[in-house]
Structure 1
Amino acid sequence: MARPSLQAERQQSIMAAFTRCISKLGLEAASLDEIAKEAGMQRSLVRHFAGNREDLVNQVADYVASKFENIWRQQEHSHREDLTNEWLVDVLFSTKPEAVYRTMLPAFYALLSASHRYPTVSVRMTQCFELYVADLSLELQRRHSQASSDDCQQVALGVINIYFAWDSLRGLELNPTLIRNNQQLIKRLLSSLK
């Protein structure tokens, strides 16, 4: 058995490679051979360190969801002092998201669309979505103490739904008016908490 640090390092390398393969090829076309090639290791080592295909899919769902959760929490934390509602629009509708985010976005949505075939993936993607809503609800409660927790959760759910719909279309060349209207819709939702 490999030493724990090597095991963890190899698993991270495999997950990063699998994520890139999903982003380039799609989930179903990202074979063990493609993952091994992308990771720069033999196929047998991919199986040794990460398991069979279903194990890999479950692990990459956790890897991708965790990365997105970390990005969200860093963005949220970096705007804690900005008490305006503009921070959220700036974070969600950034025209230049971080490179790691752009790389992982196709993998995230591929996993989301395949979650009906993988129960563990479905659970993990649900947790990720619910974390976004719960975190935003708490942040809205902090910023709008006069609003009820139900109102904050409803606004958070609306904002996150709008964001997920818009974000899933990020690869398209959307009309700037649509982007601006999405931003205005989020501002309108947030203003309902005043």
Structure 2
Amino acid sequence: MARPQMGDERRDQILEAFEKCVIRKGLAKTTLTDVADESSLPRSLVRYFVGNRADMVDLLIDRMIERGDDGVAKLRPKSRPMTTHDLVDFLFDNTFANDVSNSVIGELWYMAERDNKISKRLAAMYGRVIQMMIAQMETDGIGASDRQRRDAANMILSLAYGQASFLDLGLPDMTTKTGREFARVIVSNLSTPSKKKTPNKETL
């Protein structure tokens, strides 16, 4: 029986090969045989470590989530608490600046239109990002309500994803810096929670 560490290494090797195949051929046309050839492993071994094609898609989404979590962990400043602006910068400079991830996400979006399971998994993945931003805004005292924070997080995520998509199309004057600056404006313009006034003793 393979040791867990060896299993993880094989799984990473196979998923990396899967990503390359998806970028080159598209998700719909990538087969287990393609992945086996790309990873230089027997097809039977690919199935042993990652299961069937649907299982491999699930693992690929897990891999993207782990990649994002690792990035956030590395993002955390050592000399000060993390801020909402740090998360905004991370979205534009890391999450949506990774060409491999963007290409894979594009393929997953295409498949999500036809596969309800993939659609739900993508929604959950982006939901994690939105919840992270909402929690950070609340920690920073930004936004007068959960609804306002959620709306802001939705708009920032839409801006980051949309800009990355347009960059892939080669549209001129579409720069990450501009999108990030507008996202920061959204955060800066949020109202802050109103503070309850302490009653004056004379009015009691």
Match of 2:159 in 1: 162
Q: Rg bigger for which structure?
A: 2
Instruction: Provide the rounded CA distance (Å) in 2 between the counterparts of 1:159 and 1:10.
Output: 36
- CA displacement, residues 118-163 of structure 1 (integer Å, 9 cap, x when unaligned): 3432232111100110001111112235632221111111111111
Match of 1:192 in 2: 189
Where does 1:22-33 land on structure 2 (aligned, <5 Å)? 22-33=22-33
Residue 65 of structure 1 contacts residue 124 of structure 1 at CA under 8 Å; is this kept in 2? Answer: no
Match of 1:126 in 2: 123
**Of 108-117 and 151-160, the range deviating more from structure 2:** 108-117
**Of 154-163 and 173-182, the range deviating more from structure 2:** 173-182
Number of aligned pairs?
189
SS at match of 2:98: helix
- Match status 1:58 vs 2:63: no
Structure 1 residue ranges without an equivalent (≥5): none
- Match status 1:92 vs 2:64: no
Over the matched positions of the two proteins, sequence identity in percent amounts to 24
**RMSD of equivalent CA atoms:** 2.8
Match of 2:133 in 1: 136
Match of 2:8 in 1: 8
Instruction: Provide the rounded CA distance (Å) in 2 between the counterparts of 1:107 and 1:182.
Output: 22
- Match status 1:151 vs 2:155: no
1:109 to 100, 103, 106: 106
AA aligned opposite 2:188: S
Higher relative contact order (CA 8 A, sep 6+): 1
Instruction: Provide the rounded CA distance (Å) in 1 between the counterparts of 2:65 and 2:189.
Output: 30
Distance of aligned partners of 1:146 and 1:41 in 2 relative to their CA distance in 1, 3 Å threshold: closer
